[in-house]
Amino acid sequence: MEASGWSSSLSSGILLSLVAVVWTVLWNNLQGLQLQQFVSRHLSRHARRLAAIVDPYLTITIAEYDGGRMKRSDAYKEVQAYLQRATCAAGGGVRHLKAETAKDVDALVLSMGDNEEVADAFQGATVWWLAYSTPPREDNAPSYWGGGRAARADRRFYRLFFLDRDRDLVLREYLPHVRREGRAVMVKNRQRKLFTNLSGDGYDADGVWSHVVFEHPKTFATLAMDPAKKKEIMDDLDAFRNGKDYYARVGKAWKRGYLLYGPPGTGKSTMVAAMANHLDYDVYDIELTSVRTNTDLRKLFIETTSKSIIVIEDIDCSLELTGKRKNKNNNKKKANDDGDKKDGAAEPPPDETDTGGSKVTLSGVLNFIDGLWSACGGERIIVFTTNHVEKLDPALIRRGRMDKHIEMSYCCFEAFKLLAKVYLDVESHHLFDAVETLLREANMAPADVAENLTPKSASDDAESCLSGLVVELEKVLAKKEGKGKDAADQADDDEE
C-alpha cells in the first residue's frame, strides 16, 4: 500500500465557487428528467475530484501482487470481495461490471470492471474505490521466479481515495472493516474450485492457475471399497482437518501426503473427488509435464490456497522420477549432498538442465512436497496416484512425504454390495452368493463391476445386470486359470 496527498489552494477554491454558480444556473434550466439523471451520474463520477480541490485527499493503492509476483495479496482479494457487495449496493453508479458465477447456480457475483469507481459510505465519511490495471512491465518476469502467466498478465490494482480529515477513521476502522467484511463475503460466495496449471478456453485464469467450478458428485458414501479401510481414511482426513494445534505443537507443517496406488479403474481419481467433497477443499490438479522448471513448480505451490488438495495423477508417467535422484546423487555427491534434503531456497541450477520439455526433476518434486516452501499457508493435502508404485523412487514416497499409502484394489464383495445398492438399488439377491465366490478368485476393478451393473436398456433389471456380471466374472476367472495353466506347463517344460 502507498499513500500520497495534495494540498489545497485558494485559487482552486475560487474556481470551485465559479463552477458551482455556473452549475446551479445550468441545472435549473435543464429540461427533462433523463438529462438530469445523465448529468447527475456524470457529476457523481467526478464528485471525488471536485471535492479534492477544496479538501486534499489521500490515496492508498492495493496491488494484486505485492512483493513481486509470488502470491496474490490477501488484502487485494478481500477488497475485491468487499467491493462486490459495495458494487451491488451502488446500483447504477458503476456501469461496467464483471460477472462470475456464484454458489447459487442461478446467481451472479458482480464486481467492478476496470477504470470503474465506486463510492462507499462509512460512519459519516465517504471514500471512493477505483479499479484499474496496467500492462505488464517488460522486466516483470524475474528469472528467479521463472516468469509465467502471472508475470505476463496485466497488473491489477484497487486505489482508495479518502479525505485527509478521515485519515484516522479510514486507517484504524474502515480498512479493517473492509478486510473483515471481504473475508465474510469470500466465505459466503465460496464455490469449490478445480484448478489446473494448463491454460485454455473455458477456464477462468487466477494467477498461474486456471479453474472451473468443482462439481464432482462422488462421495465416500458411493465409493466402493472395504468399509473398514474407508472408515480409516475418513478418520485420518478428519484428524488432519482438526489437527491445526497438533501440527503446531509437534512442529510439523500442516500438510499430509497420500499415495493412492493400484490397477486402473480401482477408484484412485474417484477417491480424490470423495476426499475433496468430504473435507470441502479445493482441488489443484498439477499436470507435471507442463511445468517447465522446478522454480515454476514451486511457484504453483505457493499460489495454492489452504484447505486444498494438490494432486499429481499418474506420477510414474509424469516425468522421469524413478530412481534418477540416485544416479544424480552418485554423480554429483560432493556438489549436491543429497538433493532431497535440500529445502528449495537455494536450488542448484544443474537440476534444471535436465531433459527437454519439462525440466522438473525429482529433487524439485521432493522440495515441493516437503521443502521449506511447502510449509507456506498450511492445511494442504498432497495426493499422488500411480498404477506402478514399485517404479517410484523410495525417497518420493517415504513416510513424511507420502504419509499414508492407500492401496486401491480389485473389487471385494463388500465393495460390490455397495455398488449393487448404488446402481441397482438391491441389497440382497439370489445371485449375490455366486458373485461373492467369483470375486474371491477373479480380479475385477470396481470400474468394470460398476459398468456391468449399469442397465443398458429399459428392459435391463437387477436380474439381467447381475447375470451379466456373473458371466463376465467367469470369463475373467477362466482367463486367469488358463494363464496359470500355461505358466505351469511352461515351468514343467523348462524343468524337462
Ligand X SMILES: Nc1ncnc2c1ncn2[C@@H]1O[C@H](COP(=O)(O)OP(=O)(O)OP(=O)(O)O)[C@@H](O)[C@H]1O
The contact set with ligand X (CB under 6 A) reads 223-225, 264-270, 387, 408, 446-447, 450
Instruction: Select the binding partner of residue 266 from ligand X, Mg ion, none (C-beta < 5 to 8 A, by kind).
Output: ligand X
- Is 422 within 8 Å of 387 (Cβ atoms)? no
Instruction: Select the binding partner of residue 160 from Mg ion, ligand X, none (C-beta < 5 to 8 A, by kind).
Output: none
Closest approach, Cβ 292 to Mg ion, in A, equals 24
Rounded Cα distance, 168 and 364, in Å? 47
Rounded Cα distance, 363 and 321, in Å? 9
Instruction: Select the binding partner of residue 84 from ligand X, Mg ion, none (C-beta < 5 to 8 A, by kind).
Output: none
Query: Residue 210 or residue 266: which is nearer to ligand X going by CB?
Result: 266
Instruction: Select the binding partner of residue 297 from ligand X, Mg ion, none (C-beta < 5 to 8 A, by kind).
Output: none
Residue nearest ligand X by beta-carbon distance: 267
Instruction: Select the binding partner of residue 264 from Mg ion, ligand X, none (C-beta < 5 to 8 A, by kind).
Output: ligand X
Closest approach, Cβ 484 to ligand X, in A, equals 25
HSE at residue 21, side-chain half, CA atoms within 13 A, is: 5
Instruction: Select the binding partner of residue 344 from ligand X, Mg ion, none (C-beta < 5 to 8 A, by kind).
Output: none
Partner residues linked to 312 by β-bridges: 384
Helices 268-279 & 227-241 angle (0-180, nearest 10): 40
Query: Residue 268 or residue 380: which is nearer to Mg ion going by CB?
Result: 268
Closest approach, Cβ 276 to ligand X, in A, equals 13
Query: Residue 39 or residue 447: which is nearer to ligand X going by CB?
Result: 447
Instruction: Select the binding partner of residue 265 from Mg ion, ligand X, none (C-beta < 5 to 8 A, by kind).
Output: ligand X
| 295 binds Mg ion, rule: CB under 5 A | no
349-350-356-361 Cα dihedral, nearest 10 degrees: -90
Query: Residue 48 or residue 268: which is nearer to Mg ion going by CB?
Result: 268
Query: Residue 268 or residue 417: which is nearer to Mg ion going by CB?
Result: 268
Closest approach, Cβ 450 to ligand X, in A, equals 5
**For 280, which DSSP code?**
T
Extended strands (E) in 287-347: 308-312
Q: In which element (H, E) is residue 195 found?
A: strand 193-196
Closest approach, Cβ 242 to Mg ion, in A, equals 28
Q: In which element (H, E) is residue 457 found?
A: none
Rounded Cα distance, 369 and 200, in Å? 27
Closest approach, Cβ 264 to ligand X, in A, equals 3
Burial bucket for residue 265 (CB in 10 Å: 0-12, 13-18, 19+): buried
One symbol per residue from 239 to 268: x for binding Mg ion (CB under 5 A), - otherwise; what is it? Answer: -----------------------------x
Give how far the C-alpha of residue 25 lies from the chain's centroid of Cα atoms, to the nearest Å. 57
Residue type, position 254, single letter: W
| 269 binds Mg ion, rule: CB under 5 A | yes
Closest approach, Cβ 284 to ligand X, in A, equals 17
- Is 90 within 8 Å of 128 (Cβ atoms)? no
Rounded Cα distance, 339 and 326, in Å? 9
Number of residues that bind Mg ion (CB under 5 A): 2
Closest approach, Cβ 232 to Mg ion, in A, equals 21
Instruction: Select the binding partner of residue 371 from ligand X, Mg ion, none (C-beta < 5 to 8 A, by kind).
Output: none
For residue 15, give Cα distances in angstroms to 7, 8, 47, 161, 165: 15, 12, 15, 22, 22
Which residues of the chain form contacts with Mg ion (CB under 5 A)?
A: 268-269
